[in-house]
Amino acid sequence: MATLRIRFAPFQNKHLSHPEIQEIEPESRAKRARSHLGCRECKRRRVKCDETFPVCLRCQRRGSICMSNAPQQQWQVEVPWLNQTHNCRSSLFTSLSESSVNNLPYIDPRLLLMWLDKTSHIMGPNTAENPLSYPIFQYIHQSPALVHIIQSLSAGHEHFFEASKLHLSLEQRSLAMLSLAQQIETGETPSTLQFLTCWLLGISATFIDNDVFDIGKEHLFAARSIVDSLVAHPGSTPTPLEKYIIGVYVYWDLTCCTLLDTSEQLPFIQTTVAIQRYVSEVSVESHPIIGGHIQLFLLLANLGRHCKAVTETGCNNPALERSFEDSLKSWPISDTDTMWEKTVGAFVKHGLVMLYRLCGYPNDLDPSAEHASDVDAEIDVSHLASEAVRTLLEIPVTSTFICLQPIPLLSAGSELSKDEPDLRHQVVARLEAIYSSNRLPCSLWTIQLLTELWELHDAGLNLSWLELMSMKNWRLRVG
């Protein structure tokens, strides 16, 4: 991938560090500056919005969902084909407009610029090194399908993926699928770009499905075949884009591992083994989505698959479950980046909560075990879940790392007891803030699922979140 440098000016808001939320003094209409970034609720109420992102102070005080706008990034990008003597954004827009009129009629400059300014930033915690941002421009001439799905996501993201405003997003999505089919048939487009299109088609299926059932698994299956070919020869030197794709697939697999039927899981296990071999033989740098923790996410995906099988069949594998437990308990969570350290710590606890809640305690299930630890037998899953939630809440809501929190928030949050109402409230508030940040409706559906589950638990019915989701006929893909 081409080398380019992006510099972001730091965004500061004096309200973020204020210990208390202050009521904003009304101003006269004549003196009030017109805001383009105010949230929808403040605009609807015709009051001034302080534009704190992702949740403005008025919405914090009201406890309402803030449909906010990210602050405009002050950026400067260095790309060989841009005229650096003019304003970067203006020259970029001019270049896009000329391309769309002349050589690339499938480009919508407005939607593509929105992808650069906002939408691409929701694709991972490391926005400064996001290959889906400016680096993607080296490929727009090669893959109309990739451009269409990018524009589809931008059109949906612009309107918080509201069903009544998805016509343009759905139109671009249809064009992406038609174009992808043509590219696969002709074989002219590199498989790496086909993967990126499949991935974005797959994950966005969740964003537009009001029935909470479509996880885009047909796109996941197609992407899996591409990954299989990439990891088939680990001795070769992979490109940066190929390494990015492997990490993307691992995280995508994690978000879907509990949603596929058991009969569909075997090929994924085989792919995971090949990826494990690939990772052990190829140098893996820090990834924009999963950092340097690909092994942990591989482990958690395999654990999720096993938990799904146990939930469906009732058949445990004590030896495998002890192996999961030992690996998670001894997992190194230290990281030079504090946000990654807290995130990894929460995901490790998420794995243990999943294991104990859905599979039981390994020593208790194995009659051949020589001894069962009294500590293990008395593990308080609720306490472990509380620790995971508190670790997640230590990450500021303004951090880009909150995009990784829905998975552990769901599993750990589902185990919070009625004696922890404040912590339950904070989980809901954090999921609302994540929705305000990335605009993806899965966070709101997660709140609905947790709320129903807590009511059932408080009434004495001890269901897991996976069992309740099955009863609702949901396949809620979070993350």
Q: Give the residue from 247, 251, 139, 243 showing the smallest Cα distance to 197.
A: 139
pLDDT at 77: 44
Q: Which tokens is 424 given?
A: 């339950």
Angle between helices 167-186 and 144-158 (to 10 degrees): 160
Q: How far apart are CA 116 and CA 143, in angstroms?
A: 17
pLDDT at 377: 39
pLDDT at 69: 86
Q: Which residue has the tokens 């958690």?
A: 300
Question: Residue 7's beta-bridge partner residues?
Answer: 76
Q: Which tokens is 76 given?
A: 């400067």
Q: Running DSSP on this structure, what letter comes out for residue 291?
A: B
Handedness of CA 46, 49, 53, 54 (dihedral sign): negative
Q: Which residues, 6 or more positions from 326, have their beta carbon under 8 angstroms from its beta carbon? A: none
pLDDT at 4: 46
Task: For residue 182, give the 3-state DSSP assignment.
Answer: helix
- Residues in the chain predicted with pLDDT less than 70, given as ranges, are 1-36, 72-102, 234-235, 284, 363-379
pLDDT, tens digit (0-9, with 9 covering 90-100), for 188-212: 899 999 999 999 999 999 999 999 9
- Can you give the pTM of this predicted structure? 0.86
**Residue 35, phi-psi category: left (phi > 0), alpha (psi -120 to 50), beta (remainder):** beta
pLDDT, tens digit (0-9, with 9 covering 90-100), for 21-77: 344 444 444 444 455 678 999 999 999 999 999 999 999 998 899 998 887 655 444
pLDDT, tens digit (0-9, with 9 covering 90-100), for 287-327: 999 999 999 999 999 999 999 999 999 999 999 999 999 99
